[in-house]
Amino acid sequence: MSYKHSEFGTLSLVSIDNKYLVIHNENNKKRKMSRCAYPEHIIQSKLNKAISLIGTNITTITSQNNNEWSEDEWFVDITISP
């Protein structure tokens, strides 16, 4: 499996709508996760994780398994930056 890790900065806001889970950083940059691509329990897990990391410097993880998804637009997971 192939993933790209990208420094994202400080997570400042998390939003969700019918299509996307969206994370925002302190510089108003955002990354999104498609709600139609994952089961709802995965989306809820990522939402809860993101909310718990607001105010934390994070790294986004973007899957490259089935396409060359842009790490400047998409994410599948987040972690605390080292």
Domains and CATH numbers, the chain: 3-80 (2.40.50)
pLDDT at residue 5, as a whole number: 94
pLDDT at residue 75, as a whole number: 95
pLDDT at residue 71, as a whole number: 84
pTM attached to this predicted model: 0.91
How far is residue 36 CA from its own chain's centroid?
15
pLDDT at residue 56, as a whole number: 98
Question: Which one, of 35, 22, 81, lies nearest residue 55 by Cα?
Answer: 81
Instruction: Report d(CA 38, CA 27) in Å as an integer.
Output: 28
Question: pLDDT per position in the chain (82 positions), as tens?
Answer: 688 999 999 999 999 999 999 999 999 999 999 999 999 999 999 999 999 999 999 999 998 666 677 789 999 999 999 8
Please give the C-alpha separations between residue 11 and each of 14, 29, 39, 67, in angstroms, as whole numbers. 8, 10, 24, 26
E-assigned strand segments in the chain: 3-16, 20-25, 30-34, 57-63, 77-80
Query: What number of CA atoms fall less than 13 Å from residue 30's CA on the CB side?
Result: 12
